Structure 1
Amino acid sequence: MYSLDSELLYVGKAKNLKNRVSSYFRARGLNAKTVALVSRIDHIEITVTGSEAEALLLEQTLIKKHRPQYNILLKDDKSYPYLHLSDHAYPLLSYRRGKRKGAGRYFGPYPNSSAVREALSYLQRLFQIRSCEDSYFNHRSRPCLQHEIKRCSAPCVGIISADDYRRDIEHATLFLEGNSRVLLQALQASMTAAAEALQFERAGEIRDQIELLRRIQERQFVERGDHNADVWAVIEWQEILCVQRMTFRAGRMVNSQSFFPEDRAGDGLETVLISYMSQFYLGGHAADGLPDVIVADVAIEDLVVLLEALRIQEGAKMTHARGVRGEQRQWLHMAQENARAGAQTRISGRQAAKLKMQKVAELLGLAAAPGRIECFDISHAQGEAAYASCVVYGDEGLDKKRYRRFSVKEVTAGDDYAALENAVTRHLTRLKDQDDLPGLLLIDGGKGQINRISTVLENLAISNLPAFGISKGTTRKSGWEYLWEAGAERPIMPNAHDEGFRLLQHVRDEAHRFAITGHRKERAKSRGQSEIESLPGIGPKRRKELLLHFGSLKNMRGAPKEEIERVPGISKTLAAQIFARLHGEE
């Protein structure tokens, strides 16, 4: 379905095309979301496929490619934490987040970083696997503190043999794979063998491992059979949709995730759930593998097409259960309760954010609570690598997807006023064109900065955007800040415990953190790059010839232009350009 300007609004599949399309154009019975979609439709294009499974695969491909605004979109952009077992003679087991591109093996994903660090702590206590990076490991001459507190077997100095360390790694792998029964049997066999060989100290150590392992299992897991299942549920609570996925592997719950899609087309809960599941599995988001069975309270005929598409695309033979009896019923109930809790938590967060926004409006004397606060800050080191940051606080708290950084290079080094003016002008010009201005503009600065930004607003003909500066008071202590309105001679000096004031402090501190992060990255990048790499017309070969000829950049800068011309591959014109760059004559 396309709009008048050929914007793709919605992609759908249908076994009966006439019934499906006509359902959007009924005279009555349509909800407000569907009416909003229909009001924008200008024309419809149709593609005929060979089967329903092919239609589903095509639908998911188009949704992933074009991301139509009225489709259920999979919001899975956050990076989940993993445990990484490195590819090394003495492997390192460590915490990792982001793309899984390092050599070795990954275990996860885990629901949060705390779960990963807890598992890592258990494994260090159980099997004494090293936690140091390779650069540290390769240069040790004596055991570190981790060995002294029995968290590492010190393979760096040969206290444990390669075979024994490999055995510990195999046991840790069994633990992470959930094969605790096999692991317990292996440990018990090792304990018996050590006792029979009269190695009673070693047998005692293995006994302690077994006891700790059993305590961990009692704390972390509830036995649920031996199935690999994904359990799905969807809840709508006060206009908040929450899709819950609970992952069971070898009968144990290993993950639980909450997703919050938007049903802009008004398709209904069951359609939302099936659409979300389709994008999740066909889009390759199941990082912990495909299950043997999908447990969801939907009709089997509604999942037949998805299961067939997975068989075609992944070669996976999966089944469906509605969760009406036994352990699957308990799983489904658990998923529904978690979905309800997730929706309630989301609502609580929104309500808290709205209340804080109202407090901000009361503090600043605004006519209405701002729907969105955007805060700017500048970070640089004596003018070097100047960066401006813009952070956003919305109706659900800090909205990190809308954060922006601006590299400020067109202004005089160290001129914070000009840097702020440059960044704010660029940002607000774009938002004005999109008719998406915030409800409040906050500047990390005092009277001078906010008056400069007031001029920017006048130049852009933006008259309805309240702007305030927040600056440290004379004591330079947190809680004693001043709030400045453009044109005001005296600042607002709020109570340190005012909720609105504390929110503005929080947003300002986040803008400061975000700006410093960008500045440090840029500065580190420049520190790791030689000035010779920025010379005009100089590639790797000419760079090598210059360094061979002069030995250093310092010698090159002190040499006359005629000396540069003698370097192989450097013409007179290029030598003149290099000389001018080195002496700042450009």
Structure 2
Amino acid sequence: MELEVQIKSLPNSPGVYQYFDRTDKLLYIGKAKNLKKRVASYFTKTHENGKTRVLVKKIASIKHIVVETETDALLLENNLIKKYQPRYNVLLKDDKTYPWICIKNEAFPRVFLTRNVWKDGSEYYGPYTSVKTVRAILSLIKELYPLRSCAYNLSAENIENEKYKVCLEYHIKNCKGACEGLQTAGSYDQDIKEIRNIIKGHFKSSLKQFEKLMFDFADKAEYEEAHKIKEKIELLSNYQSRSTVVNPSITNVDVFSIVSDELFAYVNFLKITNGAIIQSHTVEIKKKLDEDDKSLLELAIVEIRDRFKSTSAELYTPIALDIGELVKVTVPKQGDKKRIVDLSLRNAKYFRQERFKQIQIVDPDRHTNRIMAQMQKDLRLNEEPRHIECFDNSNIQGTHPVAACVVFKNGKPDKKEYRHFNIKTVDGPDDYASMEEVVHRRYKRLVEEGRDLPQLVVIDGGKGQLSSGLKSLDILGLRGKIAMIGIAKRLEEIYYPGDPIPMYLDKKSESLKIIQQLRNEAHRFSITHHRNKRSKSAINSDLSSINGIGEKTVLTLLKKFKSIKRLKSATFEDIEQLIGKDKATKVSQHFKIESPPKSTL
């Protein structure tokens, strides 16, 4: 049951999954574009391979790490397999799997493809999962910026002493001759600056140069070369400039993040060694005294670092912390470091969502209690809104005004309690008066019947509709017994009695989602009733207008054919059999239904 719950609560996101046996031994690491679908497939398919069947039988628990892209999932899978070498994975012994682009730390830097990353001060970009992409980048760079490819030591002293001579690359215009001082260091560095932006993916400023080069080839009728440039531009526009999960600029660092709600906090830990993520772990912390995120995160960091025996001297976190002088705490604001903190935060949020899903499956009462407590706090209510009702009006150009009331109990629809209202006391399209009428009718009846009143009433509309609903509560003496709010459609603003300034809930909050669900359900229920009433009215008026066709005949026809469309497609014989020849003739003539030819005998 526990494994089944874990699978059901997995996210539909790219990432890496890890299978463990009953002794918590790692069995297998895999990547997925959609974690939930991929993992579920192991347990729903019949596997022909015997080893796969054995693996599935041994799986006792599943862990996963969520990443941004499928490419990141591939790279992370590679890192983890090399680190842990699980029994059922192909062993990856080659550390030079993926290519990088290197801007060499030297005078007049070279730019080239490499599979080795050295700590020599050079800049490394990648890794890339496609060598084709790397070669396309370097080829396009070469078209635009003639750089040296030689390994000479182009120090100012060597150039001044004329130690080197230009080679063939200079004569075929692939190089500007920096070795003989024919290109200045400033000019070369400007080219490197632009190349660096291209590699990072910031090549919009260079796009015009790319297009100009392509059109120049086309003007010279060199269409093959123009097409090559076009293909390179298309490759570049789709390539991923940097990986979040493998980055040589981030080395031997612990990354922590936290998300929390009323009852629990969730802390994620990412371990980065030699520029690659090798570990992810998330813990759930139950709050005792309404502790803040800072104190909970400090507590969790000490416990997690001790558990995993981490000695990293630097931490990345989303908030400033004080955990002693021996560890440096960095709060990144932008760039690669910020992206890795965001990835940690993403994993913490997904873990929280999965816990909610698991609790909803195995302990629905706890799930409901948490949501009710959260709604009470978010909506500033005196008690938990276990019983909520929502009202919506519907009319089109003032015709057939109706209203609907939907009921939610413990955050879920209670459809048997839904009610429709035909507006009785209001003439014309007056939403405010209609709202006042239906709220009064609803709660007058509940009081008279001695039924339970809701803790919260939601009015679909802004300040005007809310005021109308409140008038009815005042008349009934229920103003202090029932909380009432309004929700406006435009910006999802929440209005409170006597407060002209609306409140805005977090767009992702569960409280707002439940209120939106209430509003949408009330709107759907109201519109359905309005549509049915209009259809019935149109049918009745159409049939009743036929001379000699009374109400009883109309009901007989509607009961049989259900709609005017079906009646029109019926044969004369079908109608005659139902209401007789005389009336069938009148109906057929009205709807131009072809009657059988008269007998000449």
TM-score when scaled to structure 2?
0.31
TM-score when scaled to structure 1?
0.32
Based on CA coordinates, which of the two structures has the bigger radius of gyration? 2
